[in-house]
Structure 1
Amino acid sequence: MSGEVILKSHDIVKHFGQTHALNGISVEIHRGEIIGLIGENGSGKSTFSSIISGVYPPTSGSLELKGQPYKPTNPLDAQKHGISMVTQEMGTLPGIKVADNIFLGREEMFTQHGIVNRKQMYEAAKKAMEKVGITDIKPDAPISNYGLEDRKLIEVVRAIYNDPEIFIVDETTTALSQKGRDIIYRLIRKFCDENKAVIFISHDLEEIMEVCSQLIVLRDGDFIEQLPKSEFEEERIKELMVGRKLTGSYYRSDYDGSFSDEVVLKAEKIWKSHTLEDISLELHKGEILGIGGLTDCGMHDLGKILFGIEKPLIGKVTLGDGTEISNPKVAINHKIGYVSKNRDQEALILSASIMENTVLPSMSLISKGGLIFKSAEKKFTQEQIKGMSIKCREMSQDVRDLSGGNKQKVVFGKWLGNKSEIFILDCPTRGIDIGVKAFMYQLMYQLKQEGKSIIMISEELPELIGMSDKIMIMKDGKVQKTFDRSEKLSESLLIKEMV
C-alpha cells in the first residue's frame, strides 16, 4: 500500500427488500492507489460505490473518512466531503444546457441577488472542460446536441470540478471511444500522482489490469479478496469473480462458417449524410454476420437503419420476401429484434417493470380476442426470466434496479419471447461481466444452430473473430473488407483495415 488509509468500511450490509446486495463489506482504500472494484453483475460493486458516494445509506455497518465517521446523506453531501462518482447510467439532465449540467446543484456560485450570471457560468464551464482536454463542446449549447460519449464526458467534468479526494468511475469507459478513455486514464493517473484515491469499476479485465494498482474482488455481495498489482493474473481473477475455474473458450470452438443460401435481410446501396456511403450487405439464414470498425465508422448508424429506426438518404433495406423495412413496427411485425448499444436510453424503459419491458413487442402474441390478460403477461414473462436466468426479486421490479447483465438479459428476452428470426445486436456484451458474456455467446450460437440470423455490430475484436461466420470491416462509412471465418484470422488483420 502506498499511502495512508483515506476511507475505511466496517461490515457494510445493504438489503433491497428480500435481496441481499452486500453482506458485510470491510475494506480499506489508501491514498495514491487506483483500486479496481470487480465482480460479476450482481456482485455488489455499484451498490458499494453508491453507498460511498451518498446515493444509498447502508442497512447496517459504518464508513470512516480520514479517520472520522462518514455518513453522506446524498451525492451533493458526499461531494462536499471530497467524494465524487461518475455512474454507469446516464447522469445528465435533458432539456438544459451543458453548463447547467456541469454546475447542477452549485448554481449559487454564479448567483447574485437571485440572478444567475450566465456569462460567468459559461466561462467557468469552458475552462473546466479545457482543463481535462475537451475543446469541442460548447458550454451554452443544449445538452441534447451531444451524443452519449460527450454527455458522459460532461458528467466527468462535473464530478471532478471541486477536485475530490476520492474519484469513483463506475463502468464509464464502456460508453467511450479511445479518445474519451484516454481522458479518463489521464485524469485517474493525475489523481493517483496527487496522492488521492480512485475507485475504478470495469468489466474489461485487460483495462482493469493495465490501469489499476490494487483489485478488490466481490462476489454475490461478499468480499472475496484484495490483490496487489504483483498478483494480477487473468485466470486467477476470473476464478475469484465467478467462484469456479473457467474452462474452455467463451467463443465458438468450430471454424465452420457455413450457413444457408437463403437471404433473409438485404441492404442495397445505403447512403446517409456524413455517415454511410454505398453500403450493401446480405444476411443469410443461420448466419452470424459480424460488423466491426472504429466507433465512428458508421456501423452503429447502419444497425439503426437495418431496424428502421433511421431512414437512409438513398437505398433500402428489405426482407427475403421483398418487404421493405421502413420503420421499427414493420421490423418487429416481421420478427426482427434489435439490441441497442445504448441499452438504458434506447432498449429499455428503466422506470417500467421487467414484465412491462418484456411483453412490449409481443402484445399480439399474448392477446386473445384483442384483450390482454394479466395472467398471460405473467406466464410469458416468467418463461423469459427462467429461460434467460434473470436474477430479480420479482417480475414487477423496475428494470432500473437490475445489474447491467440482467438488464441485457431482459432486452434479449423480450426479442426471444417475440419469436424473432433475425437479431440485430449492437455491442451486445457491452458493460456485462464474463459469466453473462459466456451465456450470451452460447445463446447466439444456439440461435444460429436453430437457423436464426444475427448481425453482430461490435467494437470488440476477439468477439467478432470468436463468433462471426463472416466479418465486414467498416471505415469512414464504407465497407473496407470482408473476412470469412478462419483460425488464421487475427486482430492485427482486422485493425489494418480499420485504421
Structure 2
Amino acid sequence: MRGISKTFPGVRALDNVRLTVYPGEVHSLMGENGAGKSTLMKILSGAYQADPGGEILIEGEVSVIDGPLAARALGVAVIYQELSLAPNLSVAENIHAGRELKKGGLLGLVDRAGMERGCEDVLKRLGASFKPHTLVGDLSIAEQQLVEIARAVHARARILVMDEPTTPLSSRETDRLFELIRTLRAEGIAIIYISHRMAEIYELSDRVSVLRDGSYVGTLTRDELSAESLVRMMVGRDISGFYKKEHAPYDPGKVVLQARDIADEGRVRGCSLDLHAGEVLGIAGLVGAGRTEFARLIFGAEPRVRGEVSMDGKPLNVRTPRDAIDAGLVYLTEDRKGQGLFLDMSVRDNINVAVCSRDARMGVLDLARGASRARDAIASLSIRVPNARVNAGALSGGNQQKVLLSRLLETQPRVLILDEPTRGVDIGAKSEIYRIINELARTGVGIIVISSELPEIIGVADRVLVMREGEIAGELGGYTGKPIEQEAIIELATGSRPALAA
C-alpha cells in the first residue's frame, strides 16, 4: 500500500500511509486507538475507498479494490473483533457464504451436502472438533473464530487480517490460535495482526509497523523490537513505569464497601470482600472463575440467592443497578458496546445520561448545562473527538472507554468497579486510565479492578483477591504481607497453591 490517504468530513484519518507485507510473515500493525489502523484495513478490504493518489499492489500488480467482493477475489480476508457469522446457519453454509454451491440445473437450490463435503478437509487441517453441519450459534467464541479462519483459508486467501483476535479468548484458546497462525504463516499466507497486547506482538511478529495520528511512523524488524521503541513510536513520548504504581506503605482508610457470602444460582459460591476508602483492590483469576459475575451481583445487575452488601457499615438494599448508582456504587462493564454505551447517541448524551435529571427544571432539560459538562469531561479525560455531537459508535475503542468512564465519574461515586477497564485500549489510553484510577484513589474513592492482564493487576492494585471456580482462592498484598507477584496469582488461580479462607 503506497501513499494511502483517507478524508472524512472534517477529519483526515490517513495521510500518505504505506505498508509492505511479505508472504509467510506475521506483520503486526500497531498504534493508539484512532491512529488509523482500522481505516487502513477497511481500505484494503474494500469497505472504504481511499482518496485519489494512492495505490495498492498485490504480488507486484496494481489492484483496484472497489468493494469487499473485489478484495475477496484478490485473496484478502479480514477477521474482525466482532465476528461476522450467521448464527442460524451451519458451519459449511457460513464457510461458503457468497460462494454457495448449487445443485446441477436447478436454479436456486443450494447443494448443502456438497458444501459440507467441500469444507471437511479445511476443518480437519485446522484441527476443528466440530462438524460442517453444526450450527454456528451452538459454537463457542473460539470455535466461531476458527470458522472465520476456515472461511478465509477455504477461499484461498493470500492476505489474512486479524483484528484483536484474542480479546474474547481464554489463555488456552489463545495458545491454540497462535499455533494456527504459525501454521498459516508456514504455508505462505501473509498475516496482518492488530493487537494492543505487547506480549502477543513479541511472540508472533516478524515485523511491526506503527501508525500515529493517521501517519506512518516506521517499521521494526523482530530484532529491533523493544517496549521502549514501540511506545515511543506509538505515542511520540516515553511512558516510563507504564504499569508501575508507587505503592506507599499499606495504610487503608475505613471500610467503604463490604460484601458478605455473595452467591448466585450458578458461578459464584459464597464470596466476600472488604474495600477501603482510597484503596485499589484487584480481582484476578482465569476466564470463567466468576469475577464478572461476582461484581455484577454486588452491583445489583444480577439477582443474588444469598449474601449482603453494605456501605459505610450500613446495609445496602441493592435490587437494581439504579439503587447502586443512587448509593454511590457504579460499575464499568467489560462489554462497552453491548452493555455500556448507546452507540447511536452522541458523546454528549452518553456522558450526561446518568445525571441528566440534575439538569431538569420544571420538566425541561437545561441543554447548555449538559453541553458544558460534556466539554469538561472531554477535556479532563483527553477524549479524542471532533465535537461532543459525534455519535459514540464512531469513536475508537479507547475513546469509547473514556466516554463510558466519564459518565460514571459524573455520578460522583464512592465506590467504582472497573471490569476489564483497558480491554481493546491502546497503550496511550491505558496510561491515562491508570492515571485516573490513581487520582480517584487519592481522593478517597474505593476502586475494584477486574483484569485478565496480570501486569495490569500487579501494577495498579494495593491488594489482590484471586478467584477460582466461583470462590475466593486467596489474597495477596495489603495487610497479608504477601507480595503481589505473577507466580503467586497463577498458583492460586490454577489451584497449584492451596486455597485460603476468604
TM-score, shorter chain, exceeding 0.5? yes
For residues 466 and 454 of structure 1, what CA distance do their matches in structure 2 show?
A: 14
Q: Which residue of 2 aligns with 1:303?
A: 295
- What displacement does 1:315 show? 2.8
Q: Which residue of 1 aligns with 2:126?
A: 132
Does 1:14 pair with 2:6?
Answer: yes
Inter-CA distance 80–183: structure 2 relative to 1 (3 Å threshold): farther
Q: For 1:229-254, what per-residue CA distance to the aligned partner results, in whole angstroms no more than 9, with x for missing partners?
A: 11112211211111123334433112
Q: Which residue of 1 aligns with 2:285?
A: 293
- What displacement does 1:98 show? 5.4
- Give the 3-state SS of the residue equivalent to 1:350 in structure 2: coil
- Give the 3-state SS of the residue equivalent to 1:253 in structure 2: coil
Q: Which residue of 2 aligns with 1:484?
A: 477
Inter-CA distance 257–249: structure 2 relative to 1 (3 Å threshold): farther
Q: How does 1:87-166 map to 2 (within 5 A)?
A: 87-92=80-85, 96-97=88-89, 99=91, 102-103=94-95, 105-106=97-98, 108-109=100-101, 113-116=107-110, 131-135=125-129, 140-141=134-135, 143=137, 151-166=144-159
Inter-CA distance 390–73: structure 2 relative to 1 (3 Å threshold): same
For residues 39 and 69 of structure 1, what CA distance do their matches in structure 2 show?
A: 27
For residues 148 and 383 of structure 1, what CA distance do their matches in structure 2 show?
A: 39
For residues 68 and 486 of structure 2, what CA distance do their matches in structure 1 show?
A: 42
Aligned with 2:255 (options 251, 262, 266): 262
Q: For 1:312-346, what per-residue CA distance to the aligned partner results, in whole angstroms no more than 9, with x for missing partners?
A: 33334444431222222222222322222222222
For residues 290 and 186 of structure 1, what CA distance do their matches in structure 2 show?
A: 31
For residues 373 and 338 of structure 1, what CA distance do their matches in structure 2 show?
A: 27
Is the deviation greater in 347-356 or in 397-406? 347-356
CA contact (8 A) 1:291 1:473 kept: yes
For residues 7 and 281 of structure 2, what CA distance do their matches in structure 1 show?
A: 43
Is the deviation greater in 26-35 or in 102-111? 102-111
Q: Which residue of 2 aligns with 1:412?
A: 405
Counterpart code for 1:185 = F
CA contact (8 A) 1:258 1:469 kept: no
Counterpart code for 1:492 = E
CA contact (8 A) 1:269 1:316 kept: yes
- What displacement does 1:88 show? 2.8
Inter-CA distance 388–493: structure 2 relative to 1 (3 Å threshold): same
- What displacement does 1:115 show? 3.7
CA contact (8 A) 1:365 1:418 kept: no
For residues 67 and 430 of structure 2, what CA distance do their matches in structure 1 show?
A: 33
Does 1:494 pair with 2:478?
Answer: no
- What displacement does 1:22 show? 1.0
Q: Which residue of 2 aligns with 1:328?
A: 321
Does 1:32 pair with 2:27?
Answer: no
CA contact (8 A) 1:351 1:400 kept: yes
- What displacement does 1:498 show? 1.1
Does 1:276 pair with 2:268?
Answer: yes
CA contact (8 A) 1:110 1:121 kept: no
Inter-CA distance 211–62: structure 2 relative to 1 (3 Å threshold): same
Q: Which residue of 2 aligns with 1:396?
A: 389
- What displacement does 1:130 show? 5.3
Inter-CA distance 487–277: structure 2 relative to 1 (3 Å threshold): closer
- TM-score, normalised with respect to structure 2: 0.89
Q: For 1:193-239, what per-residue CA distance to the aligned partner results, in whole angstroms no more than 9, with x for missing partners?
A: 11220001111112101101011111111111111111112211211
CA contact (8 A) 2:92 2:132 kept: no
Is the deviation greater in 30-39 or in 76-85? 76-85
- What displacement does 1:295 show? 0.9
- What displacement does 1:390 show? 0.5
- What displacement does 1:74 show? 2.9
CA contact (8 A) 1:45 1:218 kept: yes
For residues 227 and 56 of structure 2, what CA distance do their matches in structure 1 show?
A: 31
Counterpart code for 2:188 = N
Inter-CA distance 108–92: structure 2 relative to 1 (3 Å threshold): closer
Inter-CA distance 142–31: structure 2 relative to 1 (3 Å threshold): closer
Does 1:77 pair with 2:70?
Answer: yes
| Unmatched runs of 5 consecutive residues or more in structure 2 | 495-502
- TM-score, normalised with respect to structure 1: 0.90
Q: Which residue of 2 aligns with 1:340?
A: 333
Counterpart code for 1:377 = G
Counterpart code for 1:10 = R
Q: For 1:158-202, what per-residue CA distance to the aligned partner results, in whole angstroms no more than 9, with x for missing partners?
A: 444423111101112122111321232122212211122000111
Q: How does 1:406-445 map to 2 (within 5 A)?
A: 406-445=399-438
Q: Which residue of 2 aligns with 1:472?
A: 465
For residues 319 and 121 of structure 1, what CA distance do their matches in structure 2 show?
A: 59
User: Cα RMSD over matched residues?
Assistant: 2.6
| Unmatched runs of 5 consecutive residues or more in structure 1 | 1-8
Q: For 1:43-86, what per-residue CA distance to the aligned partner results, in whole angstroms no more than 9, with x for missing partners?
A: 11111112111121112312111222223233343222211111
- What displacement does 1:348 show? 1.6
Does 1:459 pair with 2:452?
Answer: yes
Aligned with 2:208 (options 190, 215, 223): 215
CA contact (8 A) 2:101 2:111 kept: no
CA contact (8 A) 1:260 1:284 kept: yes
CA contact (8 A) 1:10 1:62 kept: yes
- What displacement does 1:119 show? 6.0
- What displacement does 1:396 show? 1.8
Q: Which residue of 1 aligns with 2:499?
A: none
For residues 291 and 412 of structure 1, what CA distance do their matches in structure 2 show?
A: 19
Q: Which residue of 2 aligns with 1:386?
A: 379
Inter-CA distance 90–472: structure 2 relative to 1 (3 Å threshold): same
Q: For 1:385-430, what per-residue CA distance to the aligned partner results, in whole angstroms no more than 9, with x for missing partners?
A: 1111110122221222211111111111111122222211111111
Aligned with 1:363 (options 338, 343, 356): 356
Inter-CA distance 110–466: structure 2 relative to 1 (3 Å threshold): farther
- What displacement does 1:40 show? 1.5
For residues 118 and 342 of structure 2, what CA distance do their matches in structure 1 show?
A: 35
For residues 110 and 366 of structure 1, what CA distance do their matches in structure 2 show?
A: 61
- What displacement does 1:471 show? 0.4
For residues 423 and 468 of structure 1, what CA distance do their matches in structure 2 show?
A: 14
For residues 453 and 139 of structure 1, what CA distance do their matches in structure 2 show?
A: 50
